[in-house]
Structure 1
Amino acid sequence: MKALLLAATAALLCAAASPPTLDTKAIAKSRFGNDAPWYENRIPFFESADPKIDAVYYYRWSLYRAHQRDLGERGYISTEFLDDVGWQLEPWASLNDATGFHLGEGRWLNDRRFADDYIAHMYNGGNDRHFTDYMADSVWGRYLVDGDRAGATRHLTAMRTLYGQWDDHFDKAKGLYWVEPLLDATEYTISSIDASGGQEGFTGGNAFRPSINAYMFANARAIAEIAALSGDAATARDYTARAADIRTRVERDLWNPALGHFTDRYKVDNQFVKYWEPIRGRELVGYLPWTFDLAADDRRFAAAWSHVLSPTELGGAGGMRTVEPSYQYYMHQYRYENGVFTGGRPECQWNGPVWPFQTTQVLLGMANLLDHYKQSVVTRSDYMRLLRQYTQLHYQGDALDLEEDYHPDTGRPIVGLGRSHHYFHSGYADLILGGLVGIRPRADDVLEVNPLLPDARDPQALAWFRVQDVPYHGHRVAVTWDATGRHYGRKGLSIEVDGRAVAQRATLGRLTVPVTRVALPPIDRPIDRAVQLKRADFPKGSASTADEAENVHDAIDGRVWFFPELGNGWSSKPTPAQQWYAIDLGKPVKLERAELAFFADGGHFAAPRAYRMQAWVNGTWRDLPAQADAPLANGITHAKWPATTTSKVRVMFDLTPNRAMRLVEAKLY
């Protein structure tokens, strides 16, 4: 460690040129339009020589923003689907299977509220174990970025409780965890299909899987680290031992020498499959031991990565296959939108289709492999090729719209259901910042950067990039790469901390610099008083037209997005010209401002020409003396007034002629 620090110190930058600076305000306006203010002081800004990577990077932040649901006093959570689905946890619309991706992305925000609220929600009744997850590991991963010790350690008791609840999926004789693939969020896998004799596979197929065991390994390791931060040495020793035991069992029992891959073993025993037998094919899930650094640095294990590079095995032309084409039921469609029969739009399956979900996990594992394993199977060129392949999945023609799963040969969406648009069960910003840029977050006071870019002569090379405003241990970090020096005026790789250049090298490679963590500012938590979580409860909405219950509810459901593919909010009739939307709070509440979100599509919907705020005072509606922004389409319109206590608020609108309006959300503070 001392040698690394000395090497970094020796590389301190003494260039005369000032560090390059991105015009973040202009970039935000260009990428996010009228909603730019939400992003300006929150996200790390990035640019590179690849315009598609740049576009998807910013699209993914708009995806993150759209999936923040405000629960009022409970704070914010991240949702997996934009709209409601039947298997979500009510009344919040939360699902625990995507928490790892949500926190992996959210840890890079300068506004720490979203991740902080979400973690508190999940450890306070929001995680019903509907699916497997690696929640504790995600909290530890967030700590590695922000360095907030109190934020990580306050949930230790809940982490241990949740971990212990998974004992109902632990086989003591084998020392491994098992799960039904459906509850691993991966229906129709080899184990579930074969356990049905090839007839079904939505349910069933209990198996000892690399996934759940990698998750439980990562959670145990994280609990050990967080317990050590708390000074709880006994718990640290206990969970360190648990993690070590899972690692031993996975490497010994889930490694399949015949297939050269980590694979499932059956927990179920029936006429089709036998307990403890391995499944008969390779699946993409076999790479998860690297995603969480479970797999040993062993060339025997590393050879498994050749399968994802092979076009006849897991390496599809359009994306990574979840199962190899040699499997008997590869890409056989079992389930459709309206039930298990042929016809209609196909539903989700894991017997071959490409999933951004597992693609992200594999790319995270590959980044680990390239960063700190000794192997010669995978190259940085492979990483960039597969990252670009994943980037392309986000495009539907020229439009950006990530869906649930894709055909491995064409890269085109398979499911195409209404719920599938802008799906958030994957990561991307985390891959760019931690992989391509190579920021490797650490628990100690060191910033480590190791970009996973190939040599400039490689066809997958990236000639230049810059990222800035990256939060790290209370500082803001920037990383710049310029292969020739012609783009930014400085050749090589350089690091800045709080605007000051601190390290540089002329070539790609690892840089480490000491960064003393600083105290983080308190999180600002204004509470939206207008959120209706249960349809029959207060607050309650009402409207002048189009007053169907669900249409009215959508304007106070805590969700804000402006994607045209999925409508959200109260959509009025186009006439009359004057209309209103009211919120009954059910009790007197002190209020002093509002945020209104209006959607416009250039056709049917337009922002109102004008509006005014009213409050229910002494049995009548009275105008509030508000300092109000002009109505803004596809962004946030603000209104402020002297603090007023009222039980009802109404917004009066003057509609644009011959246009309906859509009030995406009305928030009251």
Structure 2
Amino acid sequence: MAAAAPAPPTRLDAPKILAERYGSDAAWYVDNIPLFESSDPLLDRVYYYRWQVFRAHQRDLGAKGYITTEFLDDVGWQREPYASLNDATGFHLYEGRWLRDRRFADDYINFLYDEGGNDRHFSEAIADAVWARYLVDHDRAGALRHLGAMRHVYGLWDDHFDVAKGLYWIEPLLDATEYTVSSIDASGGKDGFRGGDAFRPSINSYMAANARAIARIAALAGEDAVAADYAGRAERLKARMLADLWSAPLGHFVDRYKVGNEHVRSWEPIRARELVGYLPWTFGLVDDPRYTAAWKHLLSPRGFAGAAGMRTVEPSYQYYMRQYRYDKDSGGRECQWNGPVWPFQTTQVLMGMANLLHDAPQGAVTRADYMRLLRQYARLHLQGDRLDLEEDYDPETGKPIVGLARSHHYFHSGFDDLVITGLVGLRPSDGDDLTVDPLIATEGKDRIRHFALQDVPYHGRLVSVFYDEDGSRYGAGRGLRLYVDGVLAGQRETPGRLTVTVQPRTNRAIERPVDLAVNLVRSDFPRADASSGRDPEKLHDAIDGRLWSFPESPNGWDSTAKGATEWFSLDLGKSVSLRSAELSFFAGGTFAPPSAYRLQYWAKEGWIDLSSTSLRHTVTTSASAWQPVSAQRLRVVFTKRPGTQIRLSEVKLF
């Protein structure tokens, strides 16, 4: 008699779960994100919140596609008119590679290399992130498309390369880490916002990772000479970094000064350990076990282990947590890296720890340590019971330090990739295999009793991983199971390494409808007007390509009149063909979506109706379509619900 087929797991109910998490905005998530659940409700909650942060930071540039922003709204040091910054781009791409709609990562990469988005405003590891994306989607053409631009940008960094030392240097501010040990000490302890040029583990890890990625992409393209050139660069840089940035007295990777003055000497190592010293592991650049002793500092309360998070410098440093800089308008404390917890480096360290745990046996850290620190990081997302990730935190209390208006829901870090590649342990590859190796504790207070990761895009297929400690959660038996397109591909009785073959399949083509209503430059077209609430900034908010619904950060045009109807109009500057629209509304407090609206276009005889939509339920986004018409001006007439006003978060026209 043939053996019975293994029972399939009880799948997670995507519409139900995502409706509970995201309400009427659930459709975007149903189409895009892998589902996740575990025996830890906090991890689950933060996982879904971080996808909400990802969605909120997608800015539609119209014909230039989508990019990912760092701040929800404008800051003075962004790249105009896009509101882009390049320092956290690696996190954005590592997270976005797991979405089923590949447009968000693909558009962003095109922007970085076709539109100058990788402007080297800050140090970066963007080529590495492009390769990391290829490991997931296996899109060869997408990986090869920007090889020339990657090489060009890499060469531009020669202006920060010291040929004699064989290392890259940078000012900490341009490493996105102002007020670090090198900049503070180079000022004699008086400041540290600028200055302190140093050969740092960060930029040298980024450049080694970028060179390695370029070598791999060149090999994929069949450009063997280029591949050999960049592989050699990566190895030489790695060797110099391991030899010269390792401090034997501190047992850690540290900066060496490039600058020399009355306070510091050139090539002298800094005098304190910083969290940045773990970045060589973040990019898999340490293969000698002699260096793993550095990880003991991460777990020490006298070292980096604050009660609430990872300190960016150890408390023994003379200027630990000294506040130098304040916001000139509010008087609030400004960003510094001399001790506060930064999700930016917390993410990097957890990536490095995952690499260390996955690569080879060692005795410095355990899987229980990874789970404990991931949970600690998750707790930083909570402000009371409200989820709101901010810029930096007090390492002892876990309270936000900066707390300025710009700081809410700050996308300067990663989290969901840590869950997918760390906790669940998906390790993508450039071949036809996929390894799962969960970094979970199986005993003690950090124990994980079950988890599920469902419908992860991988090499054109959908992968799901279920772990059930005793078989009672998912009904498919105890242990670890991996499914490809719903078919069991591998299993084991206990958590651990499991490798299966995944035959790649061609990805679905990316669809790119272009939003014609986007305005990036306020003086250009399209131009908005309204029946009330005619603040130019609020009018622009409704057509700036940005959409979010966090009440702490209002976004959109607000009606202000008392009447039952309102209108919002757009002048596109020229006649264009229009066939559909999407309107997004904020619901909360005194704001509610309208009960109905009419879309109209202007013709010689006046305003002519295109479509009419009745909204019987509270919705965030409503779509309307019609037979194509040519028009320059379009208007939406709203019928308000009694006692409410309208906040129109965004208008899109196609």
Superposition TM-score, scaled by structure 2 size: 0.98
CA distance in 1, matches of 2:516, 2:31: 25
CA distance in 1, matches of 2:109, 2:613: 35
Residue aligning to 1:387: 374
Residue aligning to 1:71: 61
| Aligned-pair CA distance for 1:632 | 5.9
Paired residue secondary structure (1:556): coil
Paired residue secondary structure (2:32): coil
Residue aligning to 2:268: 277
The percent of aligned pairs where both chains have the same amino acid is 61
Residue aligning to 1:83: 73
1:43-442 equivalences in 2 (<5 Å) = 43-124=33-114, 125-298=116-289, 300-338=290-328, 344-442=331-429
Residue aligning to 1:5: none
Q: Is the 8 A contact 2:598 2:612 kept in 1?
A: no
Residue of structure 2 aligned with 1:608, choices 587, 594, 610: 594
Q: Report Cα offsets for 1:441-485 as digits up to 9, x if no partner.
A: 10000011000112x323211000011110000000000001111
CA distance in 1, matches of 2:447, 2:460: 32
- Amino acid in structure 2 at the alignment position of 1:83: D
Q: Is the 8 A contact 2:596 2:614 kept in 1?
A: no
| Aligned-pair CA distance for 1:627 | 6.0
Residue of structure 1 aligned with 2:29, choices 8, 16, 39: 39
| Aligned-pair CA distance for 1:576 | 2.3
Q: Is the 8 A contact 1:481 1:493 kept in 2?
A: yes
Paired residue secondary structure (1:118): helix
CA distance in 2, matches of 1:373, 1:179: 32
Paired residue secondary structure (1:41): helix
- Amino acid in structure 2 at the alignment position of 1:81: F
CA distance in 2, matches of 1:176, 1:361: 21
Residue aligning to 1:9: none
Paired residue secondary structure (1:595): strand
Q: Is the 8 A contact 1:449 1:510 kept in 2?
A: yes
Q: Name the CA shift for 1:632/1:189 in 2 (closer, same or farther; >3 Å).
A: farther
CA distance in 2, matches of 1:133, 1:356: 16
CA distance in 2, matches of 1:16, 1:242: 50
Confirm whether residue 658 of structure 1 aligns to residue 643 of structure 2.
Answer: yes
CA distance in 2, matches of 1:551, 1:619: 30
Residue aligning to 1:493: 480
Q: Is the 8 A contact 1:629 1:637 kept in 2?
A: no
| Aligned-pair CA distance for 1:20 | 2.1
CA distance in 2, matches of 1:470, 1:502: 14
| Aligned-pair CA distance for 1:634 | 5.5
CA distance in 2, matches of 1:287, 1:249: 16
Q: Report Cα offsets for 1:598-653 as digits up to 9, x if no partner.
A: 1111x2212112110000122621111x2636276452111111111101110001
Q: Alpha carbon RMSD of aligned pairs, Å?
A: 1.2
Residue aligning to 1:26: 16
| Aligned-pair CA distance for 1:16 | 3.1
Q: Name the CA shift for 1:528/1:629 in 2 (closer, same or farther; >3 Å).
A: farther
CA distance in 1, matches of 2:58, 2:109: 13
- Amino acid in structure 1 at the alignment position of 2:637: M
CA distance in 2, matches of 1:440, 1:147: 14
| Aligned-pair CA distance for 1:296 | 2.1
- Amino acid in structure 1 at the alignment position of 2:354: A
Q: Is the 8 A contact 2:182 2:270 kept in 1?
A: yes
CA distance in 1, matches of 2:177, 2:510: 36
Residue aligning to 1:4: none
CA distance in 1, matches of 2:573, 2:209: 45
Paired residue secondary structure (2:148): helix
- Amino acid in structure 2 at the alignment position of 1:273: V
Q: Is the 8 A contact 1:598 1:632 kept in 2?
A: no
- Amino acid in structure 1 at the alignment position of 2:241: V
Q: Name the CA shift for 1:373/1:627 in 2 (closer, same or farther; >3 Å).
A: farther
Paired residue secondary structure (1:258): coil
Q: Report Cα offsets for 1:530-552 as digits up to 9, x if no partner.
A: 00000000111111111121111
CA distance in 1, matches of 2:566, 2:497: 61
Residue aligning to 1:668: 653
Q: Report Cα offsets for 1:35-68 as digits up to 9, x if no partner.
A: 0001002100011100000000000000000000
Confirm whether residue 474 of structure 1 aligns to residue 460 of structure 2.
Answer: yes
- Amino acid in structure 1 at the alignment position of 2:291: F
Paired residue secondary structure (1:38): helix
Q: Report Cα offsets for 1:257-311 as digits up to 9, x if no partner.
A: 010000000011111011000000000000000000111232x210000001001
CA distance in 1, matches of 2:616, 2:391: 35
Paired residue secondary structure (1:126): coil
CA distance in 2, matches of 1:183, 1:576: 51
Q: Name the CA shift for 1:633/1:210 in 2 (closer, same or farther; >3 Å).
A: farther
Q: Is the 8 A contact 1:25 1:40 kept in 2?
A: yes
Paired residue secondary structure (2:88): helix
Q: Is the 8 A contact 1:104 1:430 kept in 2?
A: yes
CA distance in 2, matches of 1:548, 1:495: 54
| Aligned-pair CA distance for 1:15 | 4.8
Confirm whether residue 448 of structure 1 aligns to residue 418 of structure 2.
Answer: no
Q: Is the 8 A contact 1:318 1:408 kept in 2?
A: yes
Q: Is the 8 A contact 1:434 1:440 kept in 2?
A: yes
Q: Name the CA shift for 1:374/1:524 in 2 (closer, same or farther; >3 Å).
A: same
Q: Name the CA shift for 1:297/1:619 in 2 (closer, same or farther; >3 Å).
A: farther
> Number of matched residues?
650
- Comparing 208-217 with 457-466, which one deviates more in the overlay? 457-466
CA distance in 1, matches of 2:108, 2:612: 33
Residue aligning to 1:636: 621
- Amino acid in structure 1 at the alignment position of 2:120: R
- Comparing 573-582 with 282-291, which one deviates more in the overlay? 573-582
Residue aligning to 1:460: 446
- Amino acid in structure 1 at the alignment position of 2:482: I
CA distance in 1, matches of 2:486, 2:516: 39
| Aligned-pair CA distance for 1:486 | 1.7
Q: Is the 8 A contact 1:404 1:413 kept in 2?
A: yes
Paired residue secondary structure (1:600): coil
Q: Name the CA shift for 1:113/1:631 in 2 (closer, same or farther; >3 Å).
A: farther
| Aligned-pair CA distance for 1:660 | 1.8
Q: Is the 8 A contact 2:597 2:612 kept in 1?
A: no
CA distance in 2, matches of 1:48, 1:460: 12
Q: Is the 8 A contact 2:596 2:612 kept in 1?
A: no
- Comparing 573-582 with 554-563, which one deviates more in the overlay? 573-582
CA distance in 2, matches of 1:632, 1:323: 51
Residue aligning to 1:550: 537
- Amino acid in structure 1 at the alignment position of 2:469: A
- Amino acid in structure 2 at the alignment position of 1:319: G
